[in-house]
Amino acid sequence: MKAEWVANTFTSSFWSWWIIFFTVAGIFFCFWLIWWTGKGGAPKGETAETMGHVWDENLEELNNPLPRWWLNMFYITLAFGIIYLILYPGLGSWAGVLGWTDTKQYEEEMKAAEAKYGPIFAQYAQKDLKELAKDPEALKIGRRLFLNYCAICHGSDARGAPGFPNLTDNDWLYGGKPETIEKSILDGRQGTMPPMGAAVGGEEGAEQVAHYVRSLSGLKHDAAKAEAGKAKFAVCAGCHGPDGKGNQTIGAPNLTDKTWLYGSSVATIKKTIMQGRHGKMPAHRQFLGEDKVHLLAAYVYSLSHQSGAN
Ligand code: HEC
Ligand code: HEC
């Protein structure tokens, strides 16, 4: 590859030459220093003389030269440094004759990984998701991908956390068909519940509706407040349905079951009503590509359909 000067962030080449000057001068200085310390000492055949320094009564300094092998190690180190600086970037903005850059190396490694693993992902890409969800090899890859890219939000066991849905319970915001899960991962999801405080008559109304919401799933509630909240729930029905069973096309949760995305306490439900919620699942189509998402969808589907049952 042709040697070239890499474009640098300096406005002139002065600093580049500055660095080159001191690097080269440093190398020459080291050569001189080794040569200078290596010469001298007693001429061949003669015994070494004392330099006149004595420590601890009998420890004398003699004028023996440094051992040859020791000096050669220094010369080899210097030669290595020079060869390195010719081949690789290091001398100012000189790119080195190999034209190596960390970006290029990264890209080559990514290309090699794609060439090696691409076909493995591709061989699963055409397979039916329900079939894949029974294939232990595919699930193993899916699990690794999940731990890398999804566990940070959904947890390594996929059981989620407040605001991040549990993916193992077969209870879905957007739907649990394999294709729906795949769409959630590919294109992401944006759950939007607007603040509803004004619509239910402020804090007090929110409190009443919260008790009504708790009554829907049989949780402990104040009967009088729930009764008052029932009428106000009309403004919620458009999204959560008149019976509170939710709507998967917009990701409005079912409020009658035992699964809670944010929490079931009166305080949490009130907060949801007063402030609204905006859960965001990022899209992964560009980031991971469809083949990897296909394996992920199979893995997620398998979590709530153990042994491939429907
Ligand atoms: C930045 C956090 C984050 C990451 C990373 C993330 N998710 Fe999500 N995911 C969410 C949130 C939040 C939701 C719920 C969206 C909502 O509230 O409407 C969600 C929803 C989902 C759903 C829909 C669940 C349902 O009940 O319908 C699936 C499926 C899903 N994620 C799978 C994945 C997979 C697989 C990955 C890894 C590729 C992943 N997620 C990565 C935050 C994340
Ligand atoms: C415009 C549609 C819309 C309206 C109107 C609406 N919601 Fe929601 N609600 C949603 C969506 C979507 C979510 C999920 C938010 C998310 O994924 O972050 C949600 C979430 C919730 C949750 C959280 C459930 C959980 O599992 O933690 C509660 C409780 C709730 N809504 C109650 C209400 C009540 C009570 C009202 C009426 C005062 C109401 N919503 C009005 C769309 C709506």
Nearest CA to ligand 1 atom 18: 191
Nearest CA to ligand 2 atom 32: 273
Ligand 2 centroid from CA 252, angstroms = 6
Measured from the CB, is residue 181 less than 6 Å from ligand 1?
Answer: yes
Atom of ligand 1 at shortest range from CA of 191: 18
**Ligand number with the minimum distance to the CA of 143:** 1
Residue 33 structure tokens:
């220093």
Measured from the CB, is residue 294 less than 6 Å from ligand 1?
Answer: no
- In angstroms, the first-to-last Cα distance of the chain is 58
- Whether the CB-CB separation of 226 and 208 falls below 8 Å is answered with yes
- Whether the CB-CB separation of 63 and 49 falls below 8 Å is answered with yes
pLDDT at 65: 72
Average pLDDT of adjacent 10-residue blocks, the chain of 310 residues = 52 86 94 83 65 81 79 92 93 87 90 88 91 94 96 96 95 96 97 96 96 97 96 96 96 96 97 97 94 96 74
Measured from the CB, is residue 149 less than 6 Å from ligand 1?
Answer: yes
Ligand 1 centroid from CA 120, angstroms = 25
Cβ-based neighbour number of residue 265 at 10 Å: 13
**Ligand number with the minimum distance to the CA of 181:** 1
d(CA 267, CA 263): 9
Measured from the CB, is residue 205 less than 6 Å from ligand 2?
Answer: no
Measured from the CB, is residue 293 less than 6 Å from ligand 1?
Answer: no
Nearest CA to ligand 1 atom 6: 150
- Whether the CB-CB separation of 262 and 251 falls below 8 Å is answered with no
**Ligand number with the minimum distance to the CA of 174:** 1
d(CA 269, CA 211): 9
Ligand 2 centroid from CA 271, angstroms = 11
pLDDT at 5: 55
Ligand 1 centroid from CA 165, angstroms = 7
Measured from the CB, is residue 240 less than 6 Å from ligand 2?
Answer: yes
Atom of ligand 2 at shortest range from CA of 212: 35
pLDDT at 262: 97
Measured from the CB, is residue 206 less than 6 Å from ligand 2?
Answer: no
d(CA 217, CA 212): 9
Amino acid at 305: H
- φ, ψ dihedrals at 187, nearest 5°: -105, -5
Closest CA to 238 of 226, 225, 252, 228: 252
24, exposed or middle or buried, with CB in 10 Å at 0-12, 13-18, 19+? Answer: middle
Measured from the CB, is residue 165 less than 6 Å from ligand 1?
Answer: yes
pLDDT at 10: 58
Cα of 20 vs its chain's centroid, Å: 38
- Whether the CB-CB separation of 255 and 240 falls below 8 Å is answered with yes
**Ligand number with the minimum distance to the CA of 293:** 1
- Whether the CB-CB separation of 173 and 261 falls below 8 Å is answered with yes
- Whether the CB-CB separation of 261 and 268 falls below 8 Å is answered with no
Question: Given the structure tokens 């002065």, which residue do they identify?
Answer: 14
Measured from the CB, is residue 164 less than 6 Å from ligand 1?
Answer: yes
Q: Give per-residue burial for 180-201: e unless 16+ CB within 10 Å, then b.
A: ebbbbbbeebebebeebbebbe
